Structure formats: C-alpha cells, structure tokens
Amino acid sequence: MNVSLKLAQQFQDGNCLHVSPFSSTSVLLQFTCYSGRPRPTLCYKLEAPRFPSPRPTSPQGLLGVVVPSLGVSWAAARRADPQNYRGRCTDREALPPRLSPPACAPAPAIMAAPLALVLVVAVTVRAALFRSSLAEFISERVEVVSPLSSWKRVVEGLSLLDLGVSPYSGAVFHETPLIIYLFHFLIDYAELVFMITDALTAIALYFAIQDFNKVVFKKQKLLLELDQYAPDVAELIRTPMEMRHIPLKVAVFYLLNPYTVLSCVAKSTCAINNTLIAFFILTTMKGSAFLSAIFLALATYQSLYPLTLFVPGLLYLLQRQYIPVKVKSKAFWIFSWEYAMMYVGSLVVIVCLSFFLLSSWDFIPAVYGFILSVPDLTPNIGLFWYFFAEMFEHFSLFFVCVFQINVFFYTIPLAIKLKEHPVFFMFIQIAIISIFKSYPTVGDVALYMAFFPVWNHLYRFLRNIFVLTCIIIACSLLFPVLWHLWIYAGSANSNFFYAITLTFNVGQVRVKGTTGTKIYFVASDVQPGSWVLPKQGVRLVMNEGQFLPSSSSRTHRKGREVRAAGKTEFG
C-alpha cells in the first residue's frame, strides 16, 4: 500500500484530499481530517514522474496523474463501497473514499494463539534438552554459567544450609539468600522453575512492548494531526499493522534464542535476574511507579548492576505523568524523590528480610563484595578474568575500580542525550551491563537481543549488520573449540580463548554502537519540527505557500527558520 494511503488509515473519520505541485517530478498530497471538527492538514510528498505536458495545475487534473500512482481508482472505489465514498471538503472537485482505520492494537485473542504456540515450542525444546546427554555438558560451559550463577554452587549452598552451616561460610556460594531459600523448597522442581522463569520473562516483554507500541502510536497520531512531521519522513511513520507483530517477535527472539535455551538448560540463575528486569520494564511501561520500584529493587538485590536502570525507568515514568525533565521544575523533583524513596525503601526491606532469614550479614560481602572485587578469575566471556590474572596484586584495586566504573559511568551522559527516548535508553543500558559486568554469561546477552525487533523499521539505515552478525555467530562457535584446545588438547593457551572473548565483546560493542547511533539520529530526524530528509538531506524552502527543494546542500535540523529574500527555509 502507498505510504500516503497507509498514513491516512490512522485517522478516525472522513478524509479529504487536496493535491498541489511540489516539484517537477512530485506533488504534495494534503489530507484534511475530520472528526466532529476540522483537523489540521497533513502534507505528504508523492513521486509522480510521468506528468503530461503541459503539467496540470488543478486538483482534478493532478488527481488524474496521482491516482494511478496510488493504485486506487476513486470511481472503482465508489462502485465497490458507495456508502463510504464520501468526504467533507471545500473543494468538491476531488472527493476520495473514506478510509477506515485499523485497530490501534491487535485483539488479545488474535495474538494469544501465536504466543501460546511459541511458548509450547520453547518449553518442548527445553524439556527435550533437559532429558538429553547434553544437559550435563551445557551446565559446565564457562560461557553459560559463572561463579555467580552456577547451579552446582547453588546445590553446594543448599547442602551447607541443610547441615545447619551458613552457605556463605566457604568461598563457593555467592547467590542471594532469597534464591537459596526459594530452591530450598523447589529443588525437586528446578527444571520446571527455570522453564517457567523463561516463559514469564517472554510474556512480560511481550506485554511491555505492546504497551510501548500503544504509547508510540498515540504520540505519533497526535503529532500527525498537529502537522508536526516533515513530508519526507513519512516512510518512517509506523502503522498499527506494522506494530501488531512486534511484541510476538520480541517474545520469539527471547524464547528461541540459543543463548536463552542454553542458559535455561544449564539452570543458570541469570534467568531469574532476566525475569526481574523484564517485570521491571513491564511495570514501568504500565506506569506503575510503586511496582516498578519494587522489581527494580529485586533486580538490584539479585545482581547489583540493574541499579543503573533507575534513571531510564524514572525518565519513562516522568513522560507518562507529563512531567518535564527540568531542574527548575518542582514536579520533577517531587516525583523523582517519591520514586527514589520507593526504590530505596523496597531495597532496604528486601535486605532486612535476607538478614531475618540468615540471622547474619555474611551475604553482603559474599554476594556484592564478590561482584565488585572480582576475586574468582574463572574464565568467562567477560573482560575481567584475563586482565587481572596477569596483573600484580599491588595494582588490582585501582584497575578493579576502573573496570567497574564502566557500567555506571555512561548512565549520566546517556540520560542527558536520551532523555526523550527512555525505552531506547533502557536497551542501551542493559547492553552495557551485559558487556561490562564482572561475571557475564550468554543469558545476559540474550536479554538485550530480544529488543532488536522493536526498531526493525530502522534496520535499513544500519551498516555492517551482516558482518557483525557473522562475528557474533563465529565467536559463539569458536568458544568451545578454543576452550578444548586450551584445557584438554594443550595445543593452545589462555591467549587464544581471551582473544575470541575480546572479539565477541568488540562485536557486541559495535552492534550496540551501530544500532544505537543510527536509531538515535534517525529518530531525531522524525522529531517534530525536523524538516530534513533522512536519506538525501535535501532542504525544503517555502516559497509562496509551496515547499520546493533548495539547490543548497546545507541542511538545518530542529526546525530552525532562516529568513532571507522573502523565503523561509526549514532545515
């Protein structure tokens, strides 16, 4: 369907079409929308290269050229649907058919069946692997489990707890007290717990992205009605039909991602942390500040690093409350203080509950001290282990601080740059955590990869995606090969394994950087007042009520007006 007709379907009542010249090869289609009262006119450029000579100037004559390009015949539409062939227009020469809008969101019954099918397939794959001989092999892979999330260490902690000994008395168990007491009662159903955990994560992400798409659609519709978009960004405007399958794609990307499957089969507790983050995202999208603070506190309690998600969560909730992010705004400080108090209060309650269960504060140095000081240098897919294995003890404290600050350092500059895009900020921050945390696993990578379909309409602006995808896949396949050559065959050394680890992380950084940069700048081009073509960068000049392309290659962003020689330039 043509872009102009596709955009016109987003409105609720009759549409009236006016056509005016744009350039020698294009025209402007102007939709005036009505819903009880006149709405502002929306302008879209349409290429129509085969104008007759001389070129018609009346709307009726221009429609004769434009209609074949649209692939729609008004006469045929009138015969097919005479009831809807009507419109309200000051110029009666051109009356298009009324366009009925699709629903803003898919009906739950329509999308429930595919989601249920995906869940059944995902659970079946996991159950089959749990019963196979690969389960033991996967549970020992250093790419899948870490000293923090290893199931064997959880079992060791449970054994110590059953003997009446503190699970933190040794240097083996480093999970939180709530986790060990959870599996103290569910140890016989551990496989089922991890499958349910993955399913809950996918469902939470599904509904979170569904709510996010509704917000995006409403904002987009409002800006279209206010005529705040440039004609040349029409191809970046999304319709409900394009949005309806995105939540399902997100669920599929998470449930059927090999990284997620391996993490579940290995019974890595990273899956539980992913579930808490997913529910934090869901409650934030729903606009519930209290539940958002609780789930963020649980995620922080579980692995510390989700602390950095506080800022994007706060920014999104401020948007939902229509509170401006301004230092001088009293409402901004009041809401920020309330959300911070709910978060800190929830975290204090959870920590005190842990003390009540153990009657000891031993878990604080055993869990959070272990995460921050990185004493266990077991190889993994992270950046810490090799560097500190080669370092003199005298310098280790300084470089531990340098390495750890990477996770937290980027939060403030990203908050300043992405304050208008808090969901994208969350995606970037989750990716940063998965790269720079002290004990990462492939389960951490799977969580941020699930967000890729959210911005799939912008993929055509990305570069080197095929190369970067091949790098990630090749590194994933080479991890076990180089591990075998190093540990078992003895024909390689740690340098080989760390080299592929570095390549894997460089690939992640490039994927995040490429995706983040392009999505941010393209999204900026679609913001209100941005009259710049995202591909060509052609400036539009308003002359005598018409938009004409300027011969100058210089562009101006953000709708700045330059007045010269009686013309107004929109950059």
What pLDDT, on the 0 to 100 scale, is given for residue 464? Answer: 80
Distance CA 347, CA 223 (A): 39
What pLDDT, on the 0 to 100 scale, is given for residue 515? Answer: 67
When computed from its CA atoms, the radius of gyration of the chain, rounded to whole angstroms, is 28
How does 360-388 read in b/e, with b if 16+ C-beta sit within 10 Å? eeebeebbbebbeebebeebbbbbbbbbb
Distance CA 554, CA 133 (A): 64
Model confidence pLDDT, tens digit, residues 42-88? 444 444 444 445 545 554 454 444 444 444 444 444 444 444 433 33
Provide the CA 514 distance to its chain's centre, in angstroms: 14
DSSP one-letter code for 97 = P
Angle in degrees, 0-180, between the axes of helices 190-225 and 108-130, rounded to the nearest 10: 150
- With a CB cutoff of 8 Å and minimum separation 6, the contacts of 291 are 283
Place of tokens 């350092």: 409
Distance CA 373, CA 152 (A): 22
Distance CA 376, CA 370 (A): 8
Q: How many CA atoms lie within 13 A of 138 on its CB side?
A: 21
* pLDDT tens over the chain, length 571 residues: 343 444 344 333 334 444 444 444 444 454 444 333 334 344 444 444 444 455 455 544 544 444 444 444 444 444 444 444 333 333 333 333 333 333 334 444 456 788 999 999 999 999 999 999 899 999 999 999 999 999 999 999 999 998 888 899 878 899 999 999 999 999 989 999 999 999 999 999 999 999 998 888 887 777 766 666 666 666 677 777 778 889 999 999 999 999 999 999 999 999 999 999 999 999 999 999 999 999 999 999 999 999 999 999 999 999 888 888 888 888 999 999 999 999 999 999 999 999 999 888 989 999 999 999 999 999 999 999 998 988 888 888 999 999 999 999 999 999 988 888 899 999 999 999 999 999 999 999 999 999 999 988 777 777 788 888 899 999 999 999 999 999 998 888 889 999 999 999 999 988 877 666 656 555 555 554 333 333 333 333 333 333 333 333 333 333 333 333 333 333 2
Distance CA 146, CA 376 (A): 10
Model confidence pLDDT, tens digit, residues 527-537? 543 333 333 33
Distance CA 348, CA 328 (A): 30
What pLDDT, on the 0 to 100 scale, is given for residue 344? Answer: 97
The token pair at 417 is 């740059």
- With a CB cutoff of 8 Å and minimum separation 6, the contacts of 152 are 139
Backbone angles phi, psi at 90, to 5 degrees: -70, -30
What pLDDT, on the 0 to 100 scale, is given for residue 517? Answer: 62
Distance CA 8, CA 2 (A): 10
Distance CA 299, CA 281 (A): 11
Helix-, strand-, coil-residue percentages of the chain, each rounded to 5: 60, 10, 30
